[in-house]
């Protein structure tokens, strides 16, 4: 399956997860943003399959980010083809938390944006 396509089964499972963080898609866009732990991300794209706001994109890890990882993080990233997810449209995030619970590596967290935190 192309990870850019929504996966209804994964969406349903993530939506029912009792540990789902966030605001259940009720936050203002950009009030929260997903943060990717590059040392944990294996680039499987589950977050892409469940995100209703098209926040994520699969790509090759940037050299500077790769070099900044600890030794075992670099090994893990290399073992998974140097793939990771990026958040080029993080400003569209409404904090539904589906990505966080769908990620099998637990490589995603939701963080309140600094502008929203100060409001």
How does pLDDT run across 4-17, given as a tens digit for each residue?
678 889 989 998 99
**The pLDDT of residue 4:** 60
Radius of gyration of the chain (CA): 14
| Burial status of residue 72 (CB atoms within 10 A of its CB: 0-12, 13-18, 19 or more) | exposed
For the chain, give the mean pLDDT. Answer: 90
Structural domains in the chain, sorted by start: 8-118 (3.30.70.20)
- Residue 91 pLDDT: 95
pLDDT band, residue 119 (cuts 50/70/90): very low
């Amino acid at each position: 399956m192309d990870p850019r396509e929504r996966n209804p089964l994964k969406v349903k499972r993530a939506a029912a997860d009792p540990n789902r963080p966030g605001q259940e898609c009720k936050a203002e866009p950009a009030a929260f943003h997903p943060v990717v732990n590059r040392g944990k991300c294996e680039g499987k794209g589950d977050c892409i399959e469940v995100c209703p706001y098209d926040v994520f994109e699969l790509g090759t890890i940037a050299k500077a980010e790769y070099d900044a990882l600890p030794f075992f993080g670099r090994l893990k990233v290399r073992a998974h083809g140097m793939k990771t997810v990026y958040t080029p449209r993080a400003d569209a995030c409404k904090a539904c938390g589906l990505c966080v619970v769908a990620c099998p590596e637990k490589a995603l967290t939701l963080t309140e944006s600094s502008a929203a935190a100060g409001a």
